[in-house]
Amino acid sequence: MGTPRQRGATVPPTTQKAGMDIVIDRDKCMGAGQCVLIAPEVFDQDEADGRALLLVERPGTEQHEAVREAHESCPLGAITLRES
């Protein structure tokens, strides 16, 4: 048995940070570049064919909003997000 909690005691918050994994389907990507304009710290474009390149596979939480916007702005849905 664990120690009983005292009245008014608080439970510490979880220290696990929310994560985000990004996958680009380069076969779907048409090189519109919206992702690069919205989140240039995370996405770039291949100089050879113009298709999206991923600079950061797991961006920091400060970049999550921009990555979500890039995902939603992709005209062919080539960006897949998995959040945990």
68 occurs within a structural domain: yes
User: What is the DSSP secondary-structure string of 13-50?
Assistant: PP-PPP-EEEEE-TTT-----HHHHH-TTTEEE-TTT-
* pLDDT confidence band for 1 (50 / 70 / 90): very low
> Contact, 36 vs 53, CB < 8 A?
no
Burial of 77 (0-12, 13-18, 19+ CB in 10 A): exposed
Indicate the residue type of 69.
E
- Which domain covers residue 65, as residue numbers? 29-83
19 occurs within a structural domain: no
CATH number at residue 71: 3.30.70.20
pLDDT tens digit string along 9-51? 443 443 345 799 999 999 999 999 999 999 999 999 999 999 9
How many domains does the chain divide into? 1
Q: Are strands 43-45 and 52-54 parallel, antiparallel or unpaired?
A: antiparallel
